Chains A and B, each alone.
Chain A
Amino acid sequence: MSTSIEATSDLGTVATLRRGLELSPELRRGIGVTLALAAVTTVGRVVVPFVVQQTTDHGLLGKGGPDPGLVTRYVLLALIAVVATALSAYAVNVRLFRASEAGLASLRLRAFRHIHDLSTLTQNTERRGSMVSRVTSDVDTISQFVQFGGIILVLSLGQIAVATGLMLFYSPLLTAVVWLCFVPLLFVIRRFQTIVGRAYTAVRERVGDLLAAVSESVVGAATIRAYGVEERTAARIDAAIEGHRSAAIRAQVRSVVAFSSGQLVAGLTLAVVLVVGTVQAVHDDLTLGQLLAFLFLVNLFTQPVQQATEILNELQNAVAGWRRVIGVVDTRADVADPGDAGQVLPRGPITVDFEGVSFAYPGGATVLHDVDLSIAPRSRVAIVGETGSGKSTLAKLLTRLMDPSTGTVRIDGVDLRDVRFSSLRERVVLVPQEGFLFDATLRENVRFGRPDASDDDITLAITELGLDAWLAGLPQGLATEVGQRGESLSAGERQLVALARAYLADPDLLVLDEATSAVDPSTEVRLQRALEGLTRGRTSVAIAHRLSTAEAADEVVVVDRGHIVERGPHRELVRAGGVYSALYASWSAQQRG
């Protein structure tokens, strides 16, 4: 089982484009009309210079001298073509922007949503900055290509076809010469594509490194200052910046070489055509006028070929971005919502059962061994054990942040894997040790637990938890801004907010994983009492180092090295003289000082 987000999908260029179109169906919407309009634009782009050239040949340099009448007719004709070309080009542009922006917005949304749907384990294998770039700059590279490159590519191919047709009309032999000159380029381009593509992939990766390094300097600002490691951090950032710079330049040089090869071939083609054409003209197979007219057509042909080679380079850049987005969208969510197939459980007192549950991290040691555990409705259970004993793993399995490697976890007799997430999250809520707060007011953060809660509901919840005095001491009460990641508050205060948030959500089972570890003792005791009074009818599972929690629980479950070694009420376990009584002795010694 792989639990990491694919750095980039391993699809080839064509498969990437196909998958990309599948993920953004809007890109294809109305594409028929857009292509038809693009065809009009293409024809216009070739016809206009052609008419101009014909005007010069027949109207100005015609055998009978200048013919203003003819010229006027031709010029009017060309003007109509110019206007038609401009109008269709406008329509193509706007349609393309609409379709691509709609398609890429849905790709962004899909990738964003999917990142949240990935399991916690999978999310933790990826740097946050890198996940951000997958829904931002990676998508931007695609839009740049689709909006500018994509249409030019289509127009160029069209122009190549039209120009070839016109060239054939003048001289099939010289047309063959032109195409022969370009055939080797086709092979070279394929090779360049790979090289340039690889270079752009490297650039995208270096952008991820850059964002990760910069984000360290921002998120770790306090630690960096406390330890005076500004210079070391700067050196790390500089390495990332330099990595990005050199990768970008390497990609630039490679794409310039690729592009110039097209330009070089175009120029050499012109020279070859002149030579072959001269031979033909000498042998009366071609007039000099026809040769010069043909040279004009060669330009109409080579110009889009050059553009197309350049666009193909940009395509590689876009494909590199696309692959990264597809990589995340196609990473399987290993803890998946059964969705509509899942059960919706009625609200009410909840029963939890662990049956033969083992858990091992992928490629790691087993951290829980064959655990059997039942938690009765309305009971308050404390899980205790040493650091690394597997307590938090139990909490994560219980809330289905992870699935057991073997065995089953059930609530109300139903396998968690068969419960629809919307129902599960409504009934079971975890409060982790470091509950993230959003850069918003206290009110909005607490309301995150129940979006329709009124100010009165929020104040009531905080009062019920016995935190009203704390709230009153905040500079602006509920309107207090908590700052980035809640950093305007202390760690203990952040835990209070996270607890109020979960409490407001009103679940049937509240799982507290060291949720009050940074709160002062009297507040903690007060909280505990409040929760006790309020959790009658609610089941709670608390993981705590502070054994005051265990003293207050109906039942204590002692975990040691992945096994449940003891369980029972606090007093019984203390008397039993096992692992728990030793833990408790050390705890009460601390309390006595």
Chain B
Amino acid sequence: MSVDAAPSLRRSLAIVGVGIRREPRWFAFAVAGSTLYGVMTVLTASAIGKVTREQIQPAVKAGSVTSPQLWTIFAWVAGAVLLNVVGVVIRRIAAGFTMYNVAAGYRREVTRQYLRLPLSWHHRHPSGQLLSNANADVEATWNVFAPLPMALGVIVMLVAGIVQMVLVDPIMAVIGLTVFPALFLANLVFQRAMSPRVSRAQQLRAEVSEVAHESFEAALVVKSMGREEQEAVRFEEVTRRLQGANVDVGRTRGTFDPVIEAIPTIGTLAVLAVGTHQVAVGVLQPAAVVQVAYLISVLAFPVRALGWVLGELPRTVVGWDRVDAVLKARGELAFGDQQLKHSGAARSQLKGVDYSYDIVDEAGRESRFQAIHDVSIDVPAGSTVALVGPTGSGKSTLTNLTLRLVDPDRGDVTLDGTDLRRVVRGGVSSVAALVPQQTFMFDDTVRGNITLGLDHTDEEVWAALEVAQAYTFVEALGAGLDTRVGERGASLSGGQRQRIALARAIIRTPQLLVLDDATSAVDPAVEQAILAGLRRSSSGTTVLVVAYRMSTITLADEIVYVEHGRVVDHGTHQELQQRCEGYERLVTAYAREAAERAAVTADEEEVVR
């Protein structure tokens, strides 16, 4: 990602403007609170001056004071302070609402994009980065709303202060006013120096998160191969770079902070020095000097709020760029307006389908790799078709195409003759179900993982579990259907997860059921029972099944044999066994192996005898 070395102030403010338009009301409240605070800060000084002149001085002169007088003193000062505090409370609470509401809105939009964008996009983006986009980057973008209302209030104060100064004495005002451009200039230089450093730190923060995320996901492999040290080194490398970047940010901030703090003091001293001289030569009243000096010191601290805003802006721009890249990402599947029929088995067809995906070589050059070549498969309504082929031959890609998880480059994929690209959003998944090779469990209950929010009775859930041979183990779980399965179903074994995933598909009584080697983690007896159950319950279902086991394959009406992304042959088991060498080798591998071993063992036994 290229980061503009010094994003223009205009661009940063434009981003802030986008945020303000999201929550104009809360932002207006915050600015109103801030204005009240600003006005009251100036007025508190006036209130003290007023009671000093009108109450305290006369009292001291008179040598006596009445309690109404004392109450007046108290009331004026306390009242001014109270209003000031009210201003602060409004400003801060409203700023909080603005900031968190806007951030929550962007989090919703970013995650909506994650749900909308195609799988190919997901494969290109590290999950750690996507987490960072939705969390840290959104936060970085809108943190500016914490100091912003105060800064705007300060501008009101500043205008009021400047007017007062000019009224007091134009010459003094000019000296005093050089302070503010100086402050502004210092802030601008600061912002330019900070911007690239902050970007780098933010980028590295995301990298640290990515490495940690991947490493923790790999925890089992790391542990079982004893690579903890190696992982720690990998994490340390990026952590140390972040450390360096943060120190760099700190040094820059450390340089500018004292400068920005010193400028108003120097201004005050200049006013005093010049002012005293002016008073000595008789062109100015001492009170004028005091008042201007006082105004500078009162305004100096709040003016720093402008600095805070300028200091946040680089982070805003960097965060926005990262978030905006997600929001602008395109390539989501387009949908049509065709409905699919919701009863009876469906016919699924692939016609002359090509599919390729982007690959990146080690030098970062992109190219396409064609995984599927001119594949046509016809799965007639109500039939069972087995997809057979060696590991890596493209079977899973074909199942993904069948359910429109991806679109082909060329050719058509249809259900009951309707091109899937013309089907309404959600149309395909409402009639077809996939049980993938590697199952995914939500951090939810067993029930929630099966119904996925659809309205099914517990009886229906138990019935689906029974077909999937999961009834017994779910019953034995602590809370039955209400048992929480943990993140990614961590509390279940691989075989248990597969059976829950099967139940998830079965309960939907789909018109097309696609099983992608969906019983690889269950033992043979259980698999037999599952297949028997499916046969009984799925009369109205077309089944496309990726399988290696002969028992599954022979259930199929037709077998499609693929190699290297091409259909090599199709037909019945007997036909393929006779004419397709690759198929024959694949499906009889175990039997041949067993026979060979038996022969060898028999020979050995002969020898022993």
B228 touches A132 (CB 8 A): no
| Stretch binding the partner chain, chosen from A162-170, A349-357, A374-382, A542-550 | A542-550
Tell me if B437 counts as interface (CB < 8 A to partner A): yes
Is A323 positioned at the interface, with any CB of B under 8 Å from its CB? no
A448 and B225 contact, CB distance less than 8 A: yes
Q: Are A274 and B56 closer than 8 Å at their CB atoms?
A: yes
In whole angstroms, what is the CA distance A385 to B100 when docked?
54
User: In the bound complex, do residue A551 and residue B594 qualify as a contact, i.e. CB atoms below 8 Å apart?
Assistant: yes
Q: Identify which of A11-19, A314-322, A495-503 touches chain B.
A: A495-503
Q: Does B457 contact A (CB under 8 A)?
A: no
Residue A366 interfacial (CB < 8 Å): no
B25 adjacent to chain A (CB < 8 Å): no
Given known A60-B275, A593-B550, contact A66–B280 (CB-CB < 8 A): yes
Chain A residue with minimal CB distance to B593? A525
What string of 1s and 0s marks CB contacts (under 8 Å) between A304-333 and chain B? 000000000000000000000000000000
B269–A75 touching, CB < 8 Å = yes
For residue B22, CB closer than 8 A to chain A, the reply is no
B378 to chain A, nearest CB (A): 22
Given A136-B205, A211-B131, A501-B225, does the pair A72, B273 have CB atoms closer than 8 Å? yes
Query: How many angstroms between the C-alpha atoms of A545 and B253 in the bound complex?
Result: 62
- Determine the chain A residues whose CB is within 8 A of the CB of B344 once the complex forms: none
> Counting CB contacts under 8 A, is A42 at the interface?
no
Residue of B nearest to A91 (CB): B254
Whole-angstrom distance between the alpha carbons of A124 and B44 in the complex? 59
In the assembled complex, which residues on chain A have CB atoms less than 8 Å from the CB atom of B231?
A: 112, 116
Cβ contacts A246-265/B at 8 Å (1 or 0 each): 00110011001101100110
Among B223, B360, B527, the one with the most A-chain Cβ atoms within 10 Å of its Cβ is B223
| Number of residues on chain B facing chain A (CB within 8 A) | 182
Within the assembled complex, what's the spacing in Å between the Cα atoms of A449 and B533?
A: 42
Taking the complex as formed, is A535 at the interface, i.e. its CB lies under 8 A from any CB of chain B?
no
- A75 pairs with B440, CB closer than 8 A: no
Question: Contacts A438-B214, A481-B359; is A52 near B269 (CB within 8 Å)?
Answer: yes
B78 and A271 contacting across the interface, CB-CB below 8 Å: yes
A61 contacts the other chain (Cβ, under 8 Å)?
yes
Instruction: Determine the residue in chain B with the shortest Cβ distance to A217.
Output: B114
Known: A66-B286, A522-B390. A483 touches B396 (CB 8 A): no
Cα distance, A221 to B116, chains bound together (Å): 10
Query: A52 to B289, Cβ gap below 8 A?
Result: no
A282/B594 contact (C-beta < 8 A), A214-B130, A387-B495 known: no
B169 adjacent to chain A (CB < 8 Å)? no
User: With the chains together, A66 CA to B276 CA distance in Å?
Assistant: 6
The reply to whether A491 and B437 contact each other, CB–CB distance below 8 Å, is yes
Contact A523 B391 (CB under 8 A): yes
Asked if B88 contacts A228 (CB within 8 A), the reply is no
**Residues of B close to A523: CB separation below 8 A:** 390-391
Is A373 close to B, CB under 8 A? no
Q: Which residues of A contact B428 (CB under 8 A)?
A: 228
Interface-facing stretch out of A81-89, A407-415, A456-464: A81-89
Asked if B77 and A274 sit within 8 Å, CB to CB, the answer is yes
B209 touching A87 by the CB < 8 A rule? no
Q: Which of A547-593 contact B (CB under 8 A)?
A: 547-548, 551-552, 571, 583, 586-593
Q: Smallest distance from the beta carbon of B235 to chain A beta carbons, Å?
A: 5
Which one of B134, B488, B524 lies within 8 Å of A219 (CB-CB)? B488
B residues within 8 A CB of A479? 361-362
Binds B, one of A94-102, A188-196, A339-347: A94-102
B153-161, B185-193, B260-268, B537-545: which lies at the interface: B260-268
- Say how far B153's CB is from chain A's closest CB, in angstroms: 15
The 7 A-B pairs at the shortest CB distance, nearest first, are namely: A425-B226, A267-B81, A97-B250, A228-B429, A93-B254, A593-B554, A252-B96
- A548→B205 CA distance, assembly (Å): 49
Contact of B119 with A by CB under 8 A: yes
With A242-B104, A421-B226 given, is the CB distance from A132 to B590 under 8 Å? no
A interface bracket (residues with beta carbon within 8 Å of B): 35 or more
CB distance from A80 to the nearest CB of B (A): 11
A218-B122, A249-B97, A292-B52 as given contacts; A226 in contact with B429, CB under 8 Å: yes
- Taking a contact as CB atoms under 8 Å apart, the answer to whether B254 and A545 are in contact is no
Q: In the bound complex, what is the Cα–Cα distance between A489 and B439 (angstroms)? A: 15
Q: Decide: A252 and B93 in contact? CB cutoff 8 A.
A: yes
Interface string of B400-436 (1 = CB under 8 A from A): 1001010000000000000000000010111001101
**In the complex where A267-B84, A292-B52, A586-B525 touch, is A75 in contact with B216 (Cβ < 8 A)?**
no
Q: How far is the CA of A274 from the CA of B573 in the complex (A)?
A: 102
Given contacts A225-B405, A270-B77, A483-B123, contact A545 B590 (CB under 8 A): no
- In the complex the two chains form, is B443's CB within 8 Å of A127's CB? yes
Chain B CB within 8 A of A480 CB = yes
B222, B254, B272, B486: the one contacting A124 at CB < 8 Å is B486
A161 close to chain B: CB less than 8 A: no
Question: Contact flags (1/0) for B84-123 with A, using CB distance below 8 Å?
Answer: 1100110011001100110110011001101110010011
**Complex: A278 Cα to B71 Cα, angstroms:** 11
Within the complex, the shortest CB–CB distance from B246 to chain A, in Å, comes to 5
Question: Does the CB pair B216–A128 fall under 8 Å?
Answer: yes
- Taking the nearest CB of chain A, how far is it from the CB of B117, in angstroms? 9
Instruction: Determine the residue in chain B with the shortest Cβ distance to A61.
Output: B286
A-B contact pairs, 30 of them (CB 8 A): A49-B297, A82-B266, A93-B254, A97-B247, A136-B205, A137-B136, A219-B127, A221-B119, A221-B122, A222-B436, A226-B429, A226-B436, A244-B104, A263-B81, A268-B81, A270-B81, A274-B77, A275-B73, A279-B70, A281-B59, A281-B60, A388-B473, A424-B226, A429-B225, A491-B396, A518-B517, A520-B389, A523-B390, A586-B524, A587-B524
* A469 nearest CB across to chain B (Å): 9
**A83, A132, A519: which contacts B128 (Cβ < 8 A)?**
A132
Number of A-B contacts (CB under 8 A): 519
Shortest beta-carbon distance, A453 to chain B, in Å? 13
Contact of A522 among B224, B437, B589, B601 (CB under 8 A): B589
Given contacts A132-B128, A388-B473, A523-B390, contact A545 B523 (CB under 8 A): yes
Within 8 Å of chain B (Cβ to Cβ): is A67? yes
Q: Mark B231-262, 1 if CB is under 8 A from A, else 0.
A: 11001100110110011011101110111011
B213/A128 in contact, CB under 8 A:
yes
CA of A267 to CA of B505, assembled, Å: 67
Which residues of B are found within 8 Å of A490, using beta-carbon distances? 391-392, 395-396, 437
Is B340 in the interface zone, CB < 8 Å from A?
Answer: no
Q: Is the CB of A228 within 8 A of B426?
A: yes
* B522/A545 in contact, CB under 8 A: yes
Alpha-carbon separation in the docked complex, A429 to B93 (Å): 56
Residues of A near B254 (CB, < 8 A) are 89-90, 92-94, 97
| Chain B CB within 10 Å, residue with most, of A105, A140, A385, A547 | A105
Cβ-defined partner of A491 (8 Å) among B82, B224, B517? B517
- A184 touches B (CB below 8 Å): no
CA distance A469 to B411 in the complex (A): 29
In the complex, which residues of chain A have a beta carbon less than 8 angstroms from the beta carbon of B257?
A: 89-90, 93
Q: Within the complex, what minimum Cβ distance (angstroms) separates A46 from chain B? A: 12
Give the distance to chain B from A429, nearest Cβ to Cβ, in Å.
Answer: 6
Instruction: Please tell me if the beta carbons of A212 and B487 are within 8 angstroms of each other in the complex.
Output: yes
Bound-state CA distance A429–B222 (Å) is 11
Is B55 part of the binding interface, using a Cβ–Cβ cutoff of 8 Å? yes
Residues from chain A with a CB closer than 8 A to the CB of B227 are: 425, 448
Decide: A101 and B392 in contact? CB cutoff 8 A: no
> CA–CA, A429 to B92, complex, Å?
57
- Closest beta carbon of chain A to B570's beta carbon, Å: 17
Specify which chain B residues have a CB less than 8 angstroms from the CB of A207 in the assembled complex: 135
Residues of chain A in range 44-84 having any CB-CB distance to chain B below 8 Å? 48-49, 52, 55-56, 59-61, 65-68, 71-72, 75, 78-79, 82-83
Q: Are A388 and B442 in contact (CB under 8 A)?
A: no
Task: Determine the residue in chain A with the shortest Cβ distance to B64.
Answer: A282
B250 touches A94 (CB 8 A): yes
Asked if B226 contacts A422 (CB within 8 A), the reply is: yes
Tell me the smallest distance from the CB of A523 to a CB of chain B, in Å: 5
Contacts of A282 in B (CB 8 A): 59-60, 62-65
* A residues in contact with B586, CB < 8 Å: 520-522
